[in-house]
Each structure stands twice: as structure tokens, then as C-alpha cells.
Amino acid sequence: MVRSALLGSVMTALSGDLRWRVQLLDSDIQEEEKLTGISDPSNSAYPILAQNLSTRHGNLSATIMMLETRLAETDMAA
């Protein structure tokens, strides 16, 4: 029971940290788009940095969803 509560706390903290990082990535992507004047990812001149940041953004968002699903399952089992 204690282990489950500890795991839940760790997953909640990790999820919050990842959400903060996603917000930072959003800002970085917007800044790069503003700097280059290109905000359309389908444009062949779209900045590589923004492409990489967008990929990381997607990966972190998927991780957050997985953590929150696991957390909900842990809460239901408790």
C-alpha cells in the first residue's frame, strides 16, 4: 500500500515535470518559427530545430498520457 502511494506520488511529480517541459518546447518552437518567419511544418524550408522540437513534444505528450493512464489504473486498484 505504501509502495503504491509512493509510486503514485512519483508518477504525479514526473507528469507535472514533463508538462512543464512540453510548455518550454512550445515556447521554443514558437520562437524558432518567429525567428525564421516560417510556421508551416509542411513548408520545405521549415526549420529543422522546430521539427526536432515538435517530435520531442509529441514524444513527451505520449509519455504524459501513458503516465496518467498508469496513475489512474494504480488509483483504481488501490
CA-wise closest residue to 24 among 60, 76, 64: 60
What is the reported pTM?
A: 0.84
Helix (H) or strand (E) holding 17: helix 2-36
pLDDT attached to residue 73: 83
CA-wise closest residue to 25 among 47, 58, 48: 58
pLDDT attached to residue 5: 75
| CA R_g for the chain | 17
In this structure, the number of other CB atoms found within 10 A of the CB of residue 64 comes to 18
Would you give the DSSP letter of residue 42? T
pLDDT attached to residue 28: 98
pLDDT tens, residue by residue, 39-66: 999 999 999 999 999 999 999 999 999 9
In this structure, the number of other CB atoms found within 10 A of the CB of residue 9 comes to 11
Amino acid identity for residue 12 in this structure: T
